[in-house]
């Protein structure tokens, strides 16, 4: 008999959470200050996404997470912030009494088994995942990328934040002079507006390119489209000019934090600093609603780098998971570093794509 609270197996399917499962997971979200609507939007829409359920010997739920998997080649999971659940960016949720490191380890091993080479986990490493690492075959690489946020608790008004950023004030004036406006919508939006939002996401992902270009359209219109029309705790901040939407950043409002989830910009025209206008509006929204911070996920561009707090950034890790010893030996440290640097190096602001191995476990 498996001890209560420890996983006996992991079930992989695209079946959404049942009402009783959502109820069992809600205390964990409440304790961590995560918006309850996160349980309504996993697994994400789309043919590449699954929900992983860890259950005990009585098939009682212990924990869940979601995964993007292109079997048999690769499985990917990213945690770039609690709100970043669109696509595969989702955290792990636990039921009361679960042995959290054991549950995390079971889910990580299940990810590894679904990959021909290695499964990738990219982002913040929380305490439960770190405690699970001795139980799974892995390499953990610390990258030189960082997660950024703006601490809003130090400002009484948005004007106090703007007073510290002369360049931002100038860009806001330029945006307004060019006819740009900023709007904020909370919760689900109409399908027609969601389609406009998805157009921007699609254009932006195609602009940046890289691996995975062939699935950009499905991601933008199915995955993000479902989020835009269903997430009750979403906050959509977007810019318009001459009747057209020029930029979008969609956030999730948690208990004390606004977290960036997805967005994009019109790449066919000059948006006249729409990005800066949205950043200023997001800070104003957080302050006026009593939120302590705005999380912007990975520092992927110079604008995020410039306005997010330089002394308050979390490390981003690359965790490689292997289903067996042969995979561990074939995908060695030199190849892992080369692959990461080739894909990420020089493509984003503030880092080179270098990585250092800080933990390894060849025999779980």
Structure tokens at 45: 């829409």
Domain boundaries, the chain: 9-145+316-361, 153-291
- The pLDDT-based confidence of 1 (bands split at 50, 70, 90) is very low
Phi, psi of 189 (to 5 degrees): -115, 165
Using CA atoms, how far residue 290 sits from 159, 236, 352, in Å, is 15, 17, 36
Q: Alpha-carbon distance 196 to 188, whole Å?
A: 14
Percent of the chain with pLDDT over 70: 92
Domain 153-291 in the same topology as domain 9-145+316-361? yes
Q: How many CB atoms lie within 10 A of CB 361?
A: 16
Q: State the burial class of residue 211 (Cβ atoms within 10 Å of its Cβ: 0-12, 13-18, 19+).
A: exposed
Strands 293-298 and 257-265: parallel
Percentages of the chain per state (helix, strand, coil), in multiples of 5: 35, 30, 35
Phi, psi of 318 (to 5 degrees): -115, 115
pLDDT on residue 112: 93
Taking every pair of C-alpha atoms in the chain, what is the biggest distance, in angstroms? 70
In CATH terms, the superfamily for domain 9-145+316-361 is Gcn5-related N-acetyltransferase (GNAT) (3.40.630.30)
Residues 7-51 have pLDDT tens digits of 999 999 999 999 999 999 999 999 999 999 999 888 888 888 899
Residues 242-271 have pLDDT tens digits of 999 999 999 999 999 999 999 999 989 999
For the 153-291 domain, the top CATH level (class) is: alpha beta
Percent of the chain with pLDDT over 90: 65
pLDDT on residue 97: 93
């Amino acid at each position: 008999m498996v001890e209560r609270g420890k996983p006996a197996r992991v079930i992989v399917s695209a079946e959404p959470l049942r009402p009783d499962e959502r109820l069992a997971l809600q205390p964990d979200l409440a304790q961590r200050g995560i918006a309850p609507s996160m349980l309504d939007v996993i697994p994400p829409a789309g043919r590449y996404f699954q929900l992983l359920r860890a259950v005990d010997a009585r098939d009682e739920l212990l924990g869940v997470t979601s995964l993007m998997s292109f079997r048999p080649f690769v499985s990917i999971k990213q945690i770039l912030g609690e709100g970043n659940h669109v696509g595969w960016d989702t955290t792990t949720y636990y039921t009361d009494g679960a042995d959290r490191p054991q549950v995390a380890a079971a889910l990580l091993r299940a990810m590894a088994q679904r990959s021909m080479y290695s499964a990738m986990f990219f982002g913040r490493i929380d305490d439960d995942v770190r405690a699970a690492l001795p139980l799974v075959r892995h390499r953990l690489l610390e990258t030189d990328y960082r997660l950024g946020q703006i601490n809003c608790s130090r400002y009484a008004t948005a004007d106090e934040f703007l007073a510290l950023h002369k360049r931002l004030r100038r860009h806001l004036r330029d945006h307004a002079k060019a006819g740009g406006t900023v709007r904020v919508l909370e919760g689900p939006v109409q399908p027609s507006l969601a389609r406009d939002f998805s157009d921007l996401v699609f254009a932006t992902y195609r602009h940046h390119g890289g691996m995975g270009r062939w699935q950009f359209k499905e991601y933008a219109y199915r995955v993000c489209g479902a989020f835009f029309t269903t997430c009750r705790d979403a906050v959509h901040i977007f810019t318009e000019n001459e009747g057209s939407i020029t930029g979008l950043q969609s956030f999730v409002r948690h208990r004390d934090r606004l977290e960036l989830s997805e967005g994009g910009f019109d790449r066919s025209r000059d948006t006249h600093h729409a990005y800066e206008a949205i950043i200023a509006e997001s800070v104003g929204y957080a302050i006026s609603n009593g939120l302590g911070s705005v999380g912007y996920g990975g520092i992927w561009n110079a604008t995020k780098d410039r306005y997010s707090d330089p002394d308050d950034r979390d490390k981003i890790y690359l965790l490689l998971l292997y289903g067996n010893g042969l995979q561990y030996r074939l995908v060695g440290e030199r190849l892992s570093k080369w692959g990461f640097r080739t894909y990420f190096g020089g493509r984003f602001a503030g880092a080179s794509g270098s990585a250092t191995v800080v933990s390894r476990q060849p025999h779980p």
